[in-house]
Amino acid sequence: MENDAKKQEQVCTPEEAAAFLNYMTLEEWQKANPIQKRKACPDSEGLGFWGTDKFTVGYVDEVNGPDSVEMPEFVPTRYELIQLAKYWANIVIDLNFCCFVMGGEGTSDLRQQEFAKRRVGRIGRILGTEEINKIVDQAYEEYGRKQNPRAWAIFTNGTPEEKEAFQDAL
């Protein structure tokens, strides 16, 4: 039991997460998966998870798991960077809107949202402020067209009182 408590306090790196989820030591996992000796994405820093063999809290594969490692062999084109920015902007928008509509968020949501913001920010430093603002505005517009018009209007332009009244009515 004491060992489980220690595990819960530990924040895992993506490599440790992969080993943990495969019931291996980190060293065993790295030997079995040499390609995964890659470096974790710097946008993952501080977004680890914790848990025991019974449950985990805050694990999101693309944020703090094996799929968050960098792939330096592949350099995206400008077009691909724009698509990535749209993808991560949509993650942020979706998490914010769902939190607004449902009135809460989980630890995995918080990690994914922070990671997505970091990705959009990093891409924005490459493409420039004007370009990233256009991409984010376009993502909001496209996402909003698929939502309940009243909920979307209150989410994007509502006063604090309107937002509170909307959430209270749910």
pLDDT tens, residue by residue, 115-169? 999 999 999 999 999 999 999 999 999 999 999 999 999 999 999 999 999 988 8
3-state SS assignment for residue 66: helix
Residue 50: enclosing H or E segment and its boundaries? strand 50-51
The count of other CB atoms within 10 Å of the CB of residue 167 is 13
- CA 61 to mean position of chain CA atoms: 9
pLDDT-derived band of residue 38, with 50, 70 and 90 as boundaries? low
The reported pTM is 0.74
Rounded CA separation 126/68 (Å): 20
Is 84 within 8 Å of 118 (Cβ atoms)?
no
